[in-house]
Structure formats: C-alpha cells, structure tokens
Structure 1
Amino acid sequence: MSLINVKDIRKVYRVDEEKIVALGRINLRIEQGEICCILGTSGSGKSTLLNIMAGLEKPTKGSVFIAGKNVTQFTEKQWALFRQRNIGFVFQSYNLMPTQTAIENVAMPLMFKGINKRTRTKEAVHMLKAVGLGSRMMHRPTQMSGGQQQRVGIARAFVAKPKIVFADEPTGNLDSKTSRGVMEIMVRMAKIHHETLIIVTHDVNIAKYADRIINLHDGSIISDEPNQSIVSLDEEKKEPASAAVNE
C-alpha cells in the first residue's frame, strides 16, 4: 500500500462568476521513503496540490489517503492531531517564532506532542547539531542568516520523526550556494531516516535532488519520471550536513 494515494483530485476556485481550475483530475501514489519533487511554474497548481495533501485546503472533488486513511474526511481537530504525529513542514519564509531561540523553535513540535521539556531540549540540541548549528542554538532568528534560519526550519520539521515532510519552495529566499547546502541537508536527513520528502519548486536545479520528478502544468501532471538524485549514496551515509552551509 502506498503511503500517499491521491485519487481523482480536482480543485476549482470561484472568482466572481468565473471558475478557475487549479487542479484537473490528479491521480498520484507516493511511497514511504520517496524523495519527490513537484515541479511547475507559477500557477501550475503545485502548491495547491501540496496544500491538499497536507490538509491545508479541501479539494473540490476526490480523496487523499495517507497510510490508508481518507484524510479528506478529517475534521480540523483530526487534521491537527494527524499533522502532529505524522507531518513536518519546511516553509519558504522559514516561519520561525522571532522571540524564541533556535532550540525553542526546534523543540516546539515536541511540546505539542506532550513531551517533557528535558527530552525535547535534548532532541532539539541533537537536531541542531545534525544541521550544523551547534554554535547557534541560543540565537534568535534575527541573529541568523537566511540559510541558518532555514536549517532551523529543517531541524524543526524532522525533530518529531514524521512520516512525511512537505517543503514548499524551501530555497526560494536563498542564494544558489546556500540553496545547495540546504537541499543536501534536507535530502540526506530524509534518506537516512527513510522519511518521505515532498518538495514543491519552480526551480529545475532543485528538482535534481529528488528521486522522482512530477511535472505539473495548468493543473495537470504532464510527466512523472524517476531521477538520479545528485545527492550520492556516499553522501547519504554521512551525518546530515555539516559543512554544506557555512555557519
């Protein structure tokens, strides 16, 4: 059974009297541990598809099954609990709490799961070291570069060991060198822990990090092909990122 099964998903927005079809009839299966890139230009429907899979939007028609559960039938409360247990997010704009330190930001998903402060601090420290931020743990977002903030975001997304991590334009605010380091960290971490990573991007260079590239255009899948990730097997065996992005 596939981890994610998207069945006949359609999304239509109404703007005044006009109907705008964001997604046509999308069918898609994603397996546990896959690194998938949903690639498309602005307006292709890629972010809408991610939002529907993550329960942030409801489809007009169709269903999404995750681990055999029809999540499109979930209430908001059911979705909140399901996300806490199964899903991590990496955002383009980082979405860190500005008044909190890196440790506090990373520990937040564990707090929502009811884990005690000592344990969640220990896990947050471990994750920050894993993404190369051992010397930035007590820094707040305003004291860090964009690349460092995104690495905090990655640590936060993976700290609770989710089944799925959704990354929506995760390098959109970063320069090309920093983007490469961030992608290597994120892909390596997902592969080491056999977690499913779904990346949404318009950038073909970012798509090269995925094992599978799903190309969207005007709300339809126009291609779905395997890809040889530029993160090599040798790199996957290393501890996630290290010197990929300089502190």
Structure 2
Amino acid sequence: MSDIIEIKELKKIYKMGNERVEALKGISLNIKKGECCCILGTSGSGKSTLLNMIAGLEKPTKGQIIIKGQSIEKMNEKQVTKFRQKHVGFVFQSYNLLPNLTALENVAMPMIFGGISKRKREKEAKQMLQAVGLGDRLHHKPSQMSGGQQQRVSIARAFVGTPEIVFADEATGNLDTKTTMEVMELITNMANENNQTLIMVTHDTETAVYADRVIHVRDGLIERIDETKDDILKGINYKQEA
C-alpha cells in the first residue's frame, strides 16, 4: 500500500495571553491508503489538534501535511474546502445533523456541492442509508431517531460518494457499549470494502482495537505506535491495568 498522507515535523502553538501552549511538538507520521488508523490519547494529549491539522481545519505553526501529493497547509481556505469536499468525509461525536432535514436530506446534502443532480443525490443517499440499516428511516428527522440511529445517519453522510479519506472524531463518545461496537464494525467494514483510509481519534482503548494501527499521542508527541493486532491488544491491556 502506498502512503496517502505524509506528516512532517508538525508543530502547533497556541497563544493564550502572554502564554504559549505547545499542542503539537513535532509529529511525523505516514498513513497508507486503505489503512484504518487510530490516534489514541487522553484529553489534552494533542490528538484532536492533530486531526484538525490533517483535515485542514486548522493551520499548523510549522511542518507539512501532504495528502495525495498536495501540501494542504499551503492551500487557502477556498482551496482546502474544495479539497475536503472532493476527498474527505467526517463522522463527529455530536452527529452534526441538521435538525430540520430528514435522514435522506442530511445524507444527500454533501453531494449538492459536487453539482450532482437531485435524482442521483437521493438515489445514492437512499442506498447508503439502507447500507447502514436505516432504510425504514429515510424520512425521519434527527429528533425522531435514537442516538445510535443519528450516528448511523452521520456515518452514511460521511461515506456517501466514497471519499478516499474518512475522519472519525470520537465517533462513539455519546453511545453505549453495544451501540459503540455496532458502529465501529459498521465504519471499519465500510472503509475496508471500499479501500478507504479511515483515521479515528479517540481516548477509548476499546475503540482502538478495531484499527490496523494505533498511534499513541501524549503531550503533543507520538509516544509509540502499535503496528500489529497483538501489540494493539497488549497496549490496550496495559492502559486498562494502569
């Protein structure tokens, strides 16, 4: 597998009054196409900052982020927005569904920006909702669905159009254990079937077990990387015992 993302000496410094907070202290990392990669760390470790940098939601203070051969940190806001629309999907902890739209409309919405016709948008959105087990909830609004169902709509929206990269930011943070397992299996299976790169950010060691590789982040640095399932399980057991 070839690298789809290259991160080189990434640093992020926030200025808070007279203080300088170094959120990322020089992270270098390559992520392969089709890989399911988990960035694991506690609150304040820098994991969410790292995701925001990779996704082009924030600019790094120093360093380079190369995705599909393009340095996204050099792009202006319009360019990076267009890049995300073409290549990236997002699954958020808080679902981020529009309350006045139905499940079908929420999933179809990202395709509007791609200039796709309404008939095709609705056809693909319907197929995606059926794929996540919500074929009978097409016309339900978020308030008419459970948290697990809302997250499935969010997943359908992220994967519709088969983006090459999907970011999942604490995607199961608001879900119970049973629903978390269902959602993680759904996300990873969909990514594997379409050879999509999945980058998960979490503090939950039980979620990390679904990844091909786990990057442990602590105090703005990579503490270690677990490359095999055995290493991942050992790392999880170590964290739980600690």
TM range (shorter): over 0.9
* Equivalent residue, structure 1, for 2:167: 166
Instruction: Supply the distance in 1 between the matched residues of 2:127 and 2:39 (Cα, whole angstroms).
Output: 30
Identify the residue that residue 35 of structure 2 maps to in structure 1: 34
Q: Does 1:205 align with 2:242?
A: no
User: For 1:177 and 1:30, how far apart are their aligned partners in 2?
Assistant: 29
Contact 1:208 1:227 in 2 (8 A): no
**One-letter amino acid matched to 2:184:** M
1:210-225 equivalent positions in 2, closer than 5 A:
210-225=211-226
Q: Render the CA deviation track for 1:56-110: whole Å, top value 9, x for unaligned.
A: 0110000100001011000000011101100000000000010000000000111
Equivalent residue, structure 2, for 1:155:
156
Q: Which blocks of at least 5 consecutive residues in structure 2 are unaligned?
A: 231-242
1:176 paired to 2:188: no
Q: How does 1:46-195 map to 2 (within 5 A)?
A: 46-195=47-196
Match of 1:11 in 2: 12
RMSD (CA atoms): 0.9
Q: What is the CA distance between 1:136 and its match in structure 2?
A: 0.6
Shift of 1:160: 1.6
SS at match of 1:30: strand
Matched-pair contact (CA < 8 Å) for 1:210–1:227: no
Structure 1, gaps ≥5 residues long: 230-247
- In the TM superposition, residue 228 of structure 1 has moved relative to its aligned partner by 2.7
SS at match of 1:3: strand
Partner SS state of residue 51, structure 1: helix
Which letter does structure 2 place at the counterpart of 1:132? G
Please report how far the alpha carbon of residue 141 of structure 1 lies from its aligned counterpart in structure 2 after TM superposition: 0.3
Tell me the matched-pair count: 229
- Residue aligning to 2:239: none
Q: What secondary structure is seen at the aligned counterpart in 2 of 1:133?
A: coil
Structure 2 CA distance for aligned equivalents of residues 42 and 26 of structure 1: 18
Distance across 2 between alignment mates of 1:178 and 1:225: 26
* Secondary structure of residue in 2 paired with 1:150: helix
Matched residues, percent identical?
A: 58
- Match of 2:229, SS state, is coil
Q: Match for 1:123: what amino acid?
A: E
Q: State the AA in 2 paired with 1:161.
A: T
Amino acid at match of 1:20: V
Structure 2-normalised TM-score? 0.93
Aligned residues of 1:84 and 1:112 also touching (Cα < 8 A): yes
Q: How many angstroms apart in 2 are the aligned matches of 1:35 and 1:2?
A: 13
Moved segments of 4+, more than 4 Å: none
How many Å separate the matches in 1 of 2:138 and 2:186? 17
What is the aligned partner in structure 2 of residue 2 from structure 1?
A: 3
The whole-number CA distance in structure 2 between the counterparts of 1:228 and 1:222 is: 18
Contact (CA 8 Å) 1:34, 1:197: kept in 2 or not? yes
How many angstroms apart in 1 are the aligned matches of 2:218 and 2:124?
40
Shift of 1:218: 0.3
- TM-score normalised by length of structure 1: 0.91
Distance 1:120 1:47 in 2: 31
Letter in 2 for 1:67: K
Q: Deviations over 1:130-158 (max 9, x none)?
A: 00001111100000000000000000000
Partner of 1:241: none
